[in-house]
Amino acid sequence: MRARTLKDSKVVILGLGLIGGSIARGLSREKLCAGVWAVGRNETVLGEARNLGVLDGYSLDLRTVCSDADLIVLAVPGLSIAPLLLELAAFIGSRTIMTDVASVKSSTVDAARMAFGEVPANLVPGHPIAGSEKSGFAAANADLFRNKRVILTPLEQTAPEAVNLVTELWQSLGAEVLSMSVPHHDEVLAATSHLPHLLAYVLVDTLSRQGESEEIFRYAAGGFRDFTRIASSDPVMWRDIFLTNADATLSILDTFTEGLERMRQALVQGDGDYFLKTFTRAKSSRDKFMSLSASHVPTAPRTPGLEFLAEPGGRLSGAFRVPGDKSISHRAIMLGSIADGTTTVNGFLEGEDSLATLAAFRSMGVAIDGPEQGRVVIRGVGLRGLKAAAGPLYLGNSGTSMRLLCGLLAAQHFASTLTGDESLSRRPMQRVARPLADMGARIHLQEGGLAPVVIEPATLRPIHYAMPVASAQVKSCLLLASLYTEGRSVITEPAPCRDHTERMLEAFSYPISRHENRIEIEGGGILKAVPIDVPADISSAAFFMVGASISPDSDILLRHVGINPTRIGVINILNLMGADISYERESVAGAEPVADIRVRYAPLHGIDIPLDQVALAIDEFPAIFIAAACASGTTVLRGAEELRVKESDRIQAMADGLMALGIQVQVHADGLSVEGGQLRGGTIDSKGDHRIAMAFVMAALRASAPIRILDCHNVATSFPGFVELAAAAGVRLGQHEH
């Protein structure tokens, strides 16, 4: 057999349905081969495909077009493969390579043996995992296989040249090609595809035969749709799949039936514990599966996705509560999970970042109910009760999840791998890995000190550590690791930074001593579950503080905002600039002080931002720079090099955005000088950074023309419902996906 490439191959597709038609469309659109021909039964479809330019030619007769084919793709239902192979065996020589797309590979191999006497070396059994409940050429789509998987099941005798050409075919259509043995393929598919289809068909059929079936379907909502989508698949194809893969399907069906029977008993006995355990396990497995598939995303090119369009002008008014504090939400899940007893959290932030932490702990065996309207119930497993997750923990965009988990997981008796999205995979992890290594941790980073982070089990010793940067994430990481040591750790911070971990440890009755910038903690204690009230996030409130301060006639009340002294840098800085911000109804929510914050418009002036406020306002500078652009005179920020390594390089991203809107800035290595002026309209690249996107939304209140903001999907990491809330408060804001 001579080696050949797809480019100079004549490809013949047998069967021009969804799969065959999609291959033909992909090949012809990109001109990937020397010619695309088809054989089918429906001449109207074949003629239409040729008129569309999808085919170079067709025939109703196999021999006419197949005898000089380089590659034949059998894209017919499983049971049609045997008769086709029999026909082909009569005239096909060894130079023609054949492959198929059937969902069951043992039946293709059996059919080939019957037809040819032995499985020929030029046949490569294959299966694209790219079905759809739609069928037929009309549904065919050149991109059907893009980013999908194709499993090839070559046998020992299969010729490498044949495998290469078939691999090239699928790769050129955008698929990832994997290889497996025939029996393994059929077992895996029976469990992951064939059984779910069987269940969906049976459920819909059973319900449709109930007396009031129309009534049932009329009220069937999302759950029914999600569960039964695949019952719309092609019945002939699925009949063939079950006839050809009966053994593997029966085996997994029996196991499933046992599970169903146990569930039935739990229903009879009202065994809520059994439900909760089963559902928690299942949910964690599914979340993990979804995050694993999501973890493919970083390698795919990032699309600008969600766009905001903010019309100029407007003023802010009304009383409202922004979502829960992100930092406190993370810590509530972490400490609640390793506490003894049940922790109920209210006001939890249902944003992607804190949900990533929640999913990670579920994956490590913690039963967590919710979140439901901000309420989460965590059944703590104690300091030593976490279990190894079945795969990597995917933490999305969340730096806090990754850095704090490094400390907690470095001390476990199991290994863990932490991964994140593109932005998180660019952020420095050495700052936690280095001191943890001094404690005896075995942590491996990628080149450049980046994620994925691989953590091996280790026994940690206490640390005395003077932090080189004022980072609450580093401090919290080390505090969590210290819980697992024998002895006393001492951590000192160069400047005060948020102390939610310390406060929450105290709330969980864990002894910790704090004097000025020195924190001491002894390992081996117990955390006692305690209810947590998460205040509204001052970092989210900050956008509205700035919005109200810069738009004349504004007057807003931000309810129940956390005013922890280590977080109020933004209020101090805005007040120094002349803002009118005051507290009402001050109180204490558990371990954290809160207040309603009143903000009224006031003309602002530029200032030199005091160095001691930098760490206390570290997340709020995007918003503060917008205030600076609307102030008279110059505002100067120095000593804030940390901004370069946030979700984006926030110094550069803000400088670029402000300049695009006609504001003069001077970029420093450790900060930015902003000259107040008139904001114009324009287009801003938020660089996928939630806070950059939200800051420029507020800029529109004082801009002379619309501001379009790109790449805004990550606003959901910290502020779900931002667009709706900003619009209700008075920003003329819309969004669209493209």
Burial of 314 (0-12, 13-18, 19+ CB in 10 A): buried
Applying CB under 6 A, the span of 161-169, 470-478, 548-556, 705-713 interacting with ligand S3P comes to 470-478
The Cα 13–Cα 28 span in angstroms is 12
Which of 234, 533, 537, 619 does the annotation list as catalytic? 619
SS3 call for 366: coil
Applying CB under 6 A, the span of 16-24, 101-109, 139-147, 467-475 interacting with ligand S3P comes to 467-475
For 441-447, the CB contacts below 8 A with 24+ separation are 441/410, 441/411, 441/481, 442/410, 443/406, 443/410
Binding-site member from 476, 485, 554, 564 for ligand S3P (CB under 6 A): 476
Enter the DSSP assignment of 33: S
Q: State the nearest-atom distance from the C-beta of 507 to ligand S3P, in Å.
A: 16
Regarding 503 and contact with ligand S3P (CB under 6 A), the answer is no
Residue with tokens 């050129």: 172
Applying CB under 6 A, the span of 92-100, 432-440, 469-477, 656-664 interacting with ligand S3P comes to 469-477
Residue with tokens 């030199």: 608
Tokens of 10: 């004549």
Regarding 401 and contact with ligand S3P (CB under 6 A), the answer is no
Q: Please tell me the total number of residues recorded for the chain in this structure.
A: 738
Residue 112 or residue 624: which is nearer to ligand S3P going by CB? 624
Regarding 619 and contact with ligand S3P (CB under 6 A), the answer is yes
The Cα 420–Cα 429 span in angstroms is 12
Give the number of residues in contact with ligand S3P, rule: CB under 6 A: 10
Under a CB-based contact definition with an 8 Å cutoff, are residues 631 and 637 in contact? no
Residue 337 or residue 476: which is nearer to ligand S3P going by CB? 476
Residues 637-676 that bind ligand S3P (CB under 6 A): 642
Residue 284 or residue 398: which is nearer to ligand S3P going by CB? 398
Residue with tokens 């079936």: 213
Q: State the nearest-atom distance from the C-beta of 182 to ligand S3P, in Å.
A: 51
Task: Please say if 619 is a catalytic residue.
Answer: yes
Residue 10 or residue 498: which is nearer to ligand S3P going by CB? 498
Residue 351 or residue 452: which is nearer to ligand S3P going by CB? 351
Residue 423 or residue 476: which is nearer to ligand S3P going by CB? 476
Applying CB under 6 A, the span of 139-147, 367-375, 471-479, 658-666 interacting with ligand S3P comes to 471-479
Binding-site member from 472, 527, 550, 591 for ligand S3P (CB under 6 A): 472
Regarding 618 and contact with ligand S3P (CB under 6 A), the answer is yes
Q: Which one, of 428, 465, 399, 470, lies nearest residue 613 by Cα?
A: 470
Residue with tokens 């290889």: 179
Q: State the nearest-atom distance from the C-beta of 427 to ligand S3P, in Å.
A: 9
Q: State the nearest-atom distance from the C-beta of 464 to ligand S3P, in Å.
A: 20
Residue 170 or residue 625: which is nearer to ligand S3P going by CB? 625
Q: State the nearest-atom distance from the C-beta of 350 to ligand S3P, in Å.
A: 17
The Cα 196–Cα 227 span in angstroms is 9
Q: What is the greatest pairwise CA distance in the chain?
A: 90
The Cα 674–Cα 323 span in angstroms is 30
Residue 33 or residue 480: which is nearer to ligand S3P going by CB? 480
Dihedrals φ, ψ of 679, to 5°? -75, 130
Applying CB under 6 A, the span of 161-169, 278-286, 468-476, 664-672 interacting with ligand S3P comes to 468-476
Applying CB under 6 A, the span of 267-275, 377-385, 466-474, 632-640 interacting with ligand S3P comes to 466-474
The Cα 62–Cα 12 span in angstroms is 10
SS3 call for 365: coil
The Cα 31–Cα 38 span in angstroms is 16
Residue 175 or residue 497: which is nearer to ligand S3P going by CB? 497
Residue 288 or residue 498: which is nearer to ligand S3P going by CB? 498
Q: State the nearest-atom distance from the C-beta of 539 to ligand S3P, in Å.
A: 7
Q: State the nearest-atom distance from the C-beta of 498 to ligand S3P, in Å.
A: 6
Q: State the nearest-atom distance from the C-beta of 705 to ligand S3P, in Å.
A: 32
Binding-site member from 185, 498, 690, 713 for ligand S3P (CB under 6 A): 498
Binding-site member from 473, 482, 485, 635 for ligand S3P (CB under 6 A): 473
The Cα 436–Cα 443 span in angstroms is 8
Regarding 400 and contact with ligand S3P (CB under 6 A), the answer is yes
CA separation, residue 136 to residues 198, 240, 516 (Å): 21, 16, 72
Residue 231 or residue 538: which is nearer to ligand S3P going by CB? 538
The Cα 141–Cα 145 span in angstroms is 9
Residues 85-124 that bind ligand S3P (CB under 6 A): none
Residues 324-353 that bind ligand S3P (CB under 6 A): 327
CA separation, residue 338 to residues 329, 342, 362, 480, 506 (Å): 15, 10, 12, 10, 14
Residues 6+ apart with CB under 8 A from 228: 200, 203, 204
Q: State the nearest-atom distance from the C-beta of 361 to ligand S3P, in Å.
A: 16
Applying CB under 6 A, the span of 108-116, 170-178, 465-473, 526-534 interacting with ligand S3P comes to 465-473
Under a CB-based contact definition with an 8 Å cutoff, are residues 611 and 640 in contact? no
Under a CB-based contact definition with an 8 Å cutoff, are residues 608 and 633 in contact? no
Region at 127 (left for phi over 0; alpha for psi -120 to 50; beta for the rest)? beta
Region at 305 (left for phi over 0; alpha for psi -120 to 50; beta for the rest)? left
The Cα 280–Cα 364 span in angstroms is 11
Instruction: Return the ∠ at Cα 165 (arms to 160 and 168), rounded to 5°.
Output: 120
Tokens of 127: 């299966």
Residue with tokens 């008769």: 83
The Cα 18–Cα 133 span in angstroms is 10
What are the residue numbers of the active site?
Answer: 619
Judged by the rule CB under 6 A, the positions of this chain that interact with ligand S3P are 327, 400, 471-473, 476, 498, 618-619, 642
